[in-house]
Structure 1
Amino acid sequence: MSEISIIGLGWIGLPLAKILSSDHSVFGSTTSADKAASIQKEGINAIQFALVPFPQGKGFQKLLSSQIMVINIPPRSRTSTGELFLEQIKFLRSMVDQSSIKKVLFVSSSGVYPEANRKAAYTEAEYLDKDLTGNETIFKSELMFSEDRNFDLTIVRFGGLLGDERIPGKYVAGKENIAGHTRVNYIYRNDASRMLAWIIEKELWNEVYNGVAPIHTLRKDVYDQNVRDLGFEPPKSYQNASQDDDRLISGDKILSTGFEFEYPNPLDFPYSRKS
C-alpha cells in the first residue's frame, strides 16, 4: 500500500481517488472548504488547498508527505492568459522539491501538440518547443515539472474529456457553421481516471502517454447521436466537407502496455442529461 496525494479532486481526480482508495492511502485537495467536507462524507480524505498562487489552506502539508503525487489542475486557458496557472505550477514544483514525494503523475492535455492537421497522428515522440506547441502555457507547465528533477515523472496528455454531463451535442445545439467533417480525439471520463490508476499500479514512470480513445469518430456522427439519444437541438448548419487531413492524437502507446478502454468508441460514451 502506498500513500498517494491527488492535487485536484475534480471531475477526473475524485473518481481516481475512489479507484485508488481500495488499495492505497489516498489524500486529495479541493479549493473549497465546503466541497472538502462534502467529499469527506464520501469516504475520501479531502483537504482544502489552494494556490493563489502561493499555497493556502489548512493541513495541506499532509499532501506533501506521500510517496506519489497526482497533479490534476488544468489551466483555465479560455478565461486567462495562463500566467496565474504557471505561477501555481512554479509554487507546486518548489513544494514537491522540498518534500518526500518520489513519483509525480502530471495531468496535461493533447492541446500541447501543434494545431496543424496532417496525415500522421501526433504521438508522444513528437518534438515540441514554444514555437511548435499548440498551447504555450501547457508546454511550459510540462517543462516546469520535467526539468532538473530528482523524482520520477510521467505526463499524461488527455484529449477531450467527455461523458456523463459533458455532452458534445450540448455545446453545438442550434449553432451554425459547425465543423462536423473532422474526427475527434475524445476519452470517456472514467477511462481517464482508470488510465491514471493503471499507470500508478503498473509503475509506468518516466514516460509520456496520450489519453485518447482508439476510435476517432466523425464529429457529426457524435452530434447526431446526442440529438437522437438525448433530444438536443441539432446544429443549424455544418461546414462544407473538406479533403484536408485531420488533427489526430494517437493513443497506441498506452494500449501497448495492456490498458483496455471500457469505451473505445465515442459513440458509446454514457451521458446523463440534466434538466
Structure 2
Amino acid sequence: MTQISILGCGWLGFPLAKRLIEKGYSIKGSTTSENKLSTLESAGINPFLLILNSESVSENVIDFLAESEILIIDIPPKLNRKSEINAVSTEMEFVKKIQNVIPSIEKSSIKKVLFVSSTSVYGDQNELITEETIPNPETESGRQLLITENILLQNQNFETAVLRFGGLIGEDRHPVKFLAGKENLENPDAPVNLIHQDDCILIIEEIINQSKWNEVFNAAAPFHPTREAYYTQKAKEQNLALPKFSTEKLNIKKIISSEKIQNVLNYKFNLEIY
C-alpha cells in the first residue's frame, strides 16, 4: 500500500485525504490545530500536529514523512494585506517555511512532491495563459509561490509536480457570498477562472495515478463567463443581493487555459458544478 503524507489537511487537504484513503492509499496528514487531530484520526488519517515557521519546523516532521513515497504540500502563503503592500515585511516567510522542510524531505523516503500553487503567479496579464506563459506575479503571495515552485522543481533529490489552481470554489466556498450586495466592483468584463474542490481532488488523484511528475499544470475549468454575468447569475440562484459593477470597465482579459490537463491527463471537468 502506497503511503502519502499531506502537509496541510485543511479545506482541500482533508477531503483529498479521505478520497485517497477510499482509493487504497495510506495517509499521514498534518494540521496546526490540536483540536483537529481527533477529526483526522476518525477519518482514517494518521494525524500529526506540525508547526512551520520561517525559523524552524516541528521535530516530528521526520515521523510525518517516514515511509511515505509521496508528499503533497497544500499550505497557502496566508500573507496579510499589510504584507502584500509591504513586501519587505514578509521577509520571504512562506519560502523559508518550505525551505525548512526540504532537508527533512531529502533525508526521508519521499520520492515525489506535489506542490499546490496558484495562477496568481501569472499576475493579471491580458492574454490566454498556458504553462508556457512567463509568470509575472503582482502580489507578494504570488511571488513567494513562484520562488517556492522553482526551489522544489530544481531539487534533484525528488520529482516535483506543480499544480496552479485558479479561484477555489466548493459547496461551502464561493466568491459570490462576499460580492453579494457590493457596489462599484471592478472588471465586470473580466473572465472568471475558477476550479471546484471536486475537480481539484480528482486532478491530484490523476497526477498520482498516472505518475505525471516534473510537470507544471494550470487548473481552471474551461468555463469563462464574465465576472458580471457569472456572479449576477449566482447571486440570483442563491437569493442574494445582486452585486453591482463599476461602469468604468477595465480591460483585463486573463483566461487560464486548462488544455494541458485535459490533454496530458485526459481529464474532463464537471462543468455542471460551476
TM-score (norm 2): 0.88
Alignment partner of 1:133 is 2:133: no
Alignment partner of 1:238 is 2:245: yes
- Structure 1 Cα separation of the partners of residues 66 and 137 of structure 2: 31
- Structure 1 Cα separation of the partners of residues 96 and 76 of structure 2: 13
- Aligned partner of 2:2 in structure 1 is 2
- The secondary structure found in structure 2 opposite 1:259 is coil
Q: Which amino acid aligns with 1:154?
A: A
What is the percentage of aligned positions where both structures have the same residue? 35
- Aligned partner of 2:166 in structure 1 is 159
Greater shift, 107-116 or 48-57, is seen at 48-57
Aligned length: 260
- The secondary structure found in structure 2 opposite 1:50 is coil
- Structure 2 Cα separation of the partners of residues 156 and 42 of structure 1: 25
- Aligned partner of 1:73 in structure 2 is 75
Whether the 8 Å CA contact 1:8–1:30 is kept in 2: the answer is: yes
- Aligned partner of 2:105 in structure 1 is 96
Could you tell me which runs of 5 or more consecutive residues in structure 1 were left unpaired when the two chains were aligned.
Answer: 270-275
Deviation at 1:46, TM superposition (A): 1.8
- Structure 1 Cα separation of the partners of residues 134 and 40 of structure 2: 40
Deviations 1:238-269 (A, max 9, x none): 1227483501111110001211222x26xx43
- Structure 2 Cα separation of the partners of residues 58 and 102 of structure 1: 19
Aligned 1:22-37 pairs, distance under 5 A? 22=22, 23-37=24-38
- Aligned partner of 1:113 in structure 2 is 122
Could you tell me which runs of 5 or more consecutive residues in structure 2 were left unpaired when the two chains were aligned.
Answer: none
Aligned 1:1-275 pairs, distance under 5 A? 1-22=1-22, 23-53=24-54, 54-56=56-58, 58=60, 61-79=63-81, 80=83, 81=87, 82=90, 83-118=92-127, 121-128=128-135, 132-134=136-138, 135-179=142-186, 180-235=188-243, 237-240=244-247, 242=249, 244=251, 246-256=253-263, 257-262=265-270, 264=271, 268-269=273-274
Whether the 8 Å CA contact 1:6–1:70 is kept in 2: the answer is: yes
Deviation at 1:24, TM superposition (A): 1.0
- The secondary structure found in structure 1 opposite 2:115 is strand
TM-score (norm 1): 0.88
- Structure 2 Cα separation of the partners of residues 211 and 91 of structure 1: 27
Whether the 8 Å CA contact 2:7–2:74 is kept in 1: the answer is: yes
Whether the 8 Å CA contact 1:174–1:233 is kept in 2: the answer is: yes
- Structure 1 Cα separation of the partners of residues 67 and 248 of structure 2: 53
Whether the 8 Å CA contact 2:122–2:134 is kept in 1: the answer is: no
Deviation at 1:57, TM superposition (A): 6.2
- Structure 1 Cα separation of the partners of residues 61 and 102 of structure 2: 18
Deviation at 1:34, TM superposition (A): 0.9
Deviations 1:81-100 (A, max 9, x none): 54221110111222212212
Two-structure CA RMSD over aligned residues (Å):
1.9
- Structure 2 Cα separation of the partners of residues 72 and 10 of structure 1: 8
Deviation at 1:116, TM superposition (A): 2.4
Deviation at 1:231, TM superposition (A): 1.8
- Structure 2 Cα separation of the partners of residues 164 and 57 of structure 1: 36
Deviations 1:176-234 (A, max 9, x none): 11132211110001111111111001111111101110111221222122222212211
Q: Displaced runs of 4+ in structure 1, greater than 4 A? A: 57-60
Q: 1:64 to 1:222 in 2, by over 3 A?
A: farther
Deviation at 1:59, TM superposition (A): 6.9
Greater shift, 205-214 or 169-178, is seen at 169-178
Whether the 8 Å CA contact 2:72–2:113 is kept in 1: the answer is: yes
